Amino acid sequence: MSEFGYSFEDYTEASDARGSLREVDVSPKDARELAVYLKGMTIDRARLALQEVVSMKRLVPFRRYNLKMAHHGVEGFRTGKHPVKAAKLFLKLLDNVESVADYKGLDPSSMVLVHVAAYPGRKLKRNIPRAFGRSSPRNKVLVHMEIVARAV
């Protein structure tokens, strides 16, 4: 079994709490856009935003991966959508970071998300059968998600 590190360099053991999910089955583009959206929020505000995304009351602006997407006009950006599956996984990860902060004796309500990342992990190679005995590749990309929260 391989060991996974964190992509965050400036980690301080006394004032930071971190957590990660490795190789989860979610869209890497949705997870990346949601990570950009959450960075800089407090834990409580991020939790409220994620719950609103899951209940489809709040749109997440898509800044990079926005071709052929509906024009909703979200917070100064022209496109957005509801990445529900990624939001549920980020909620799970946020619970993990909050429990780590409680364990360290930090106040989770005053912590700010200084690092939120989602990047592609392992690629599972599959094939789809086609007509006349041929096949086409269908790859599934697994995603690594990380959150680091710092006490302010």
127 exposure class (CB count in 10 Å sphere: 0-12, 13-18, 19+): exposed
The per-residue pLDDT for range 11-68, each reduced to its tens digit, is 999 999 999 999 999 999 999 999 999 999 999 999 999 999 999 999 999 989 888 8
113: in domain: yes
Domain hosting residue 63, numbered range: 17-151
DSSP assigned state of 103: H
1: in domain: no
Strands 71-74 and 77-81: antiparallel
Tally of domains in the chain: 1
Whether residue 18 contacts residue 100, with contact meaning beta carbons closer than 8 Å, is answered with: yes
Domain CATH number, residue 62: 3.90.470.10
Question: Any bridge partners for residue 61, and if so which?
Answer: 80
Q: Which amino acid is at 92?
A: K
Q: What is the pTM of this model?
A: 0.90
Cα(40)–Cα(112) distance, integer angstroms: 6
2: in domain: no
